[in-house]
Each structure stands twice: as structure tokens, then as C-alpha cells.
Amino acid sequence: MPEIGQSQTRQSHLPVAIEPGQPLTALAPMQDVTDQPFMAVISDCGAPDYFFTEYFRVHIQSRPEKHILHAISENHTGRPVFAQMIGEDVFHLARTARELLEHPVAGIDLNMGCPAPKVYKKQCGGGLLRDIGKVDEVLAALRETVPGLFTVKMRIGFEDTENFEPILGLIDKHKIDLLSLHGRTVKEMYRGDVHYDFIKRAVEVVQCPVLANGNITSACKALRVLEETGAAGVMIGRHAIRNPWIFKQIRQALAGQPVSKISLHEVNQYVKRLYASVSKPYAPEIAQVNKMKKYLNFVGQGVDRDGKFLHEMRRAKSKAELFAICNRHMPEGEQHLFADEPYEGVVARPNCE
Ligand SMILES: Cc1cc2nc3c(=O)[nH]c(=O)nc-3n(C[C@H](O)[C@H](O)[C@H](O)COP(=O)(O)O)c2cc1C
């Protein structure tokens, strides 16, 4: 059982964890991934404590996107969902926050980390981290607008970490309720090691609970990161697509119980369930197959060490072909186990936020 940071004691007004007293777990927001069907599938494997929607884009003409609202209104997982926004216009951010608060959200989350150039070229997402004055203004306006939980998800800086401590000061000044911190700069995108030392620093400095985010690949790694950073919890993105049982496994590990082994057959069933859940009734089959490849890019990191499954599935042209490849690489039998950690050198295609 790791030493849990002091911030854990300050989470009383946040929704309670599935196992009260344990560090928190959250599914990271992921555009075009963390929609309502995906959240439902994840939840059946062992829900995280918190969900976050992909970001609602905010600008002068924006209205909250219907398909993202669906993840809130049709959330039957029993776990709270925070609505994330991205934008630079203070007036419209506040307006959108008010609109989102009419829905059953656990709170409003602000994206200050997106590294997509088309986003950060404006003063949005990770671009905000370059301008302390603007962060101050946006946080002040949203804090005033949101009577309940107002949370922030950010990176440790834009190009360097010069603004890190001043922005942590603003997190405190505006009484942010929860900080999710991806331990990389915007310019680092997803490359290289995660700077867990910066997450540790944030835990020491800010009043609110901190969720450590970035490369948390397994229950074992989650416990190591909790211990190293003292964070109040972990937020997991890509590795929950690969292994949707990760949240349940973390709870088991934290309770000192044996961590469930996952068979390749269970993974095969997960893939089929995901296919059925995320299928759009009138979408062409090939569009559905291609959509599945996005998830399977991650799943494949735990299927075989030579990356043969990934190689074959990327060439599938029909549902029957895709399922045949899954059946071949993920046969029945308890002896065929899914890897706990991604196989080294088996990489998912680079992606962007
Ligand atoms: C496909 C994809 C889409 C993402 N979309 C968002 C998003 O909408 N909002 C956000 O704050 N972060 C987004 N992220 C970043 C993740 O929330 C997370 O910070 C990042 O993937 C690092 O965590 P991980 O190593 O556990 O994946 C996205 C990441 C991926 C891979």
C-alpha cells in the first residue's frame, strides 16, 4: 500500500471513490474515444471513480456538441462525469459552463493541455500555459460562474516549465477543486518520459487533490506513481483503451489483493463488445472496421510481442476479416494471457489530441 499524499485528505467534497479511502482513478478525456458507448463498456470491466468527457469546443457560435452531451445525459455507469471545455473566449467559456451545468455533470473541467498545433496556435488548450495573465482571467471567470466543482486538466508547461509554479499559484488562488496533471510539456506531446517529479511538486504546492497522468500502463505502475508523487489518484487514457480492466486491477492492488489476470479470450470479447457498442446503425461496414482499428492500435500492444496482430488487423477490410484475425490471435483458453504491460517495441500509431 503506497503512502498517499496529503492532498488525499482534502477531497471530501469530491464524489466519493468506489472504494472510499482509496486513491482515486479517472478515465482521461479522449476526443473521439471517451463517448457514451465507450464509457459503458469500460464500466462493465470495472469503472473508474470519475469520467471526463472529451472537450466541448467553445467559441462565439458554439453550442455544446450533442454527441458529447449524450455522454452526460445517457451516463448509466453510476459514476460521475465531468464536462470538459476548451476555448479562449472568457465570456463564451462562462456561457458554456452555465449551459453544461443544466445537465447532470459532476463538475466543469477546463482543458489547458491540448498539444494540437491548430488548438494551441490560438490561446486554447496547451496554448494557455504561455500566458499567465490569461490563465488568471479565465480561471477567475469560471470560478465565479461554477458554484460546484471546477477542475483543471493541464500539462507542466508549454515549451519549458517556467510558468509551472506561477500557474500552480493560480490553481490555489482560484480554489480549483481537482487538478489533473499530465507530466509533460505541450511541446513534448506524448514523447519521452513523463516528469513525475513535477507532479510530486504540484502535490506539495497546491491545496486541491492532484490526479497524476501520463504513461500509467498497469496497476503496478499506478502504485509506483502514487508512491513517487503522493498524488490523490491517477488518471489513465490510452492504457485504459488497451486494458479496460485497469481500474479494477488498481483497486485490487491497493487493497493488497491479487490482481486479476486477463486472458486473451476476454480481450477478444471486449473487442467484439466494443464493435457492437460503438457501431452506428447506418454507417458503412468499412467505416466501422476503420474506427475499430483506432482502439485496436492500443489493444494490440498487449496481444503478442512481435506485433503480428497489429500488422494483420491494420490490413483488415471487413468485419469478418477483422474478427477472424482477433479469433486467431486471441484464442480461448486460460493459458493464453494478455500482457500486463505493453510489449516493448510494439507501438500504437502516433496520435494527437
Ligand atoms: C486520442 C486521444 C484524444 C485525447 N483527447 C483529449 C481531450 O479531449 N481532452 C484532454 O484533456 N486530453 C485529451 N487527451 C490526452 C489524455 O487525456 C491524456 O492526458 C494523455 O493521453 C496522457 O495520458 P495516458 O498516457 O494515460 O494516455 C487525448 C489523448 C488521446 C490519446
pLDDT in tens, 154-212: 999 999 999 999 999 999 999 999 999 999 999 999 999 999 999 999 999 999 999 99
- Is the shortest distance between the CB of 33 and ligand 1 below 6 Å? yes
- Is the shortest distance between the CB of 111 and ligand 1 below 6 Å? yes
- Is the shortest distance between the CB of 157 and ligand 1 below 6 Å? no
Can you tell me whether residue 241 is helix, strand or coil? helix
- Closest residue to atom 13 of ligand 1, CA basis: 30
- Is the shortest distance between the CB of 329 and ligand 1 below 6 Å? no
Distance CA 196, CA 194 (A): 6
Q: How confident is the model at residue 64 (pLDDT cuts 50, 70, 90)?
A: very high
E strand or H helix that includes residue 178: strand 178-185
Can you tell me whether residue 180 is helix, strand or coil? strand
- Is the shortest distance between the CB of 214 and ligand 1 below 6 Å? yes
Q: How confident is the model at residue 315 (pLDDT cuts 50, 70, 90)?
A: very high
Q: How confident is the model at residue 353 (pLDDT cuts 50, 70, 90)?
A: very low
Report CA(351)–ligand 1 centroid distance (Å).
Answer: 9
b (16+ CB within 10 A) / e for 315-336: ebeeeeebbebbeebbeeeeeb
Q: Which amino acid is at 140?
A: A
Are the beta carbons of 231 and 23 closer than 8 angstroms?
yes
- Of 23-27, 80-84, 119-123, 284-288, give the lowest mean pLDDT range: 119-123
- Is the shortest distance between the CB of 30 and ligand 1 below 6 Å? yes
Distance CA 59, CA 64 (A): 10
User: Does 119 or 171 have the greater pLDDT score?
Assistant: 171
Three cell numbers, residue 294: 483506432
Report CA(72)–ligand 1 centroid distance (Å).
Answer: 18
- The C-alpha angle 17, 19, 25, rounded to 5 degrees, equals 50
Ligand 1 mutation pick, 210, 225, 238, max ligand atoms within 8 A of CB: 238
The predicted structure's pLDDT at residue 94: 98
Give the C-alpha distances (Å, rounded to integers) separating 162 from 63, 127, 146, 158, 347: 35, 14, 29, 9, 32
Phi, psi angles (nearest 5°) of residue 174: -100, 15
Phi, psi angles (nearest 5°) of residue 105: -95, 150
Q: Is 114 a catalytic residue?
A: yes
- Closest residue to atom 10 of ligand 1, CA basis: 29
Instruction: Assess whether pLDDT exceeds 50 at residue 109.
Output: yes
Q: How confident is the model at residue 16 (pLDDT cuts 50, 70, 90)?
A: very high
Beta strands in 42-133 (DSSP E): 50-58, 81-87, 107-112
Report CA(239)–ligand 1 centroid distance (Å).
Answer: 11
Phi, psi angles (nearest 5°) of residue 107: 175, 180
Q: Which amino acid is at 213?
A: N
The predicted structure's pLDDT at residue 8: 41
- Is the shortest distance between the CB of 180 and ligand 1 below 6 Å? no
Task: Name the residue among 240, 48, 26, 59 with its Cα closest to residue 151.
Answer: 26
Give the C-alpha distances (Å, rounded to integers) separating 251 from 44, 92, 134, 245, 341: 15, 39, 39, 10, 17
Query: What is the average pLDDT across 256-275?
Result: 98
- Closest residue to atom 4 of ligand 1, CA basis: 30
The predicted structure's pLDDT at residue 280: 87
- Is the shortest distance between the CB of 79 and ligand 1 below 6 Å? no
Report CA(115)–ligand 1 centroid distance (Å).
Answer: 10
111 DSSP β-pair partners: 153
Other CB atoms within 10 Å distance of the CB of residue 25 = 28
**Given the residues 45, 114, 124, 326, the one annotated as active site:** 114
Structure letter (DSSP) for residue 3: P
Three cell numbers, residue 140: 477567475
Report CA(213)–ligand 1 centroid distance (Å).
Answer: 9
Are the beta carbons of 125 and 112 closer than 8 angstroms?
yes
The predicted structure's pLDDT at residue 76: 96
Can you tell me whether residue 299 is helix, strand or coil? helix
Instruction: Assess whether pLDDT exceeds 70 at residue 118.
Output: yes
- Closest residue to atom 21 of ligand 1, CA basis: 237
The predicted structure's pLDDT at residue 119: 86
- Of 33-42, 79-88, 342-351, give the lowest mean pLDDT range: 342-351
The predicted structure's pLDDT at residue 121: 85
Q: How confident is the model at residue 2 (pLDDT cuts 50, 70, 90)?
A: very low
- Is the shortest distance between the CB of 239 and ligand 1 below 6 Å? yes
Structure letter (DSSP) for residue 335: T
Report CA(227)–ligand 1 centroid distance (Å).
Answer: 23
Q: How confident is the model at residue 5 (pLDDT cuts 50, 70, 90)?
A: very low
User: What's the mean per-residue pLDDT of the chain?
Assistant: 94
Percent of the chain with pLDDT over 90: 90
Are the beta carbons of 310 and 300 closer than 8 angstroms?
yes
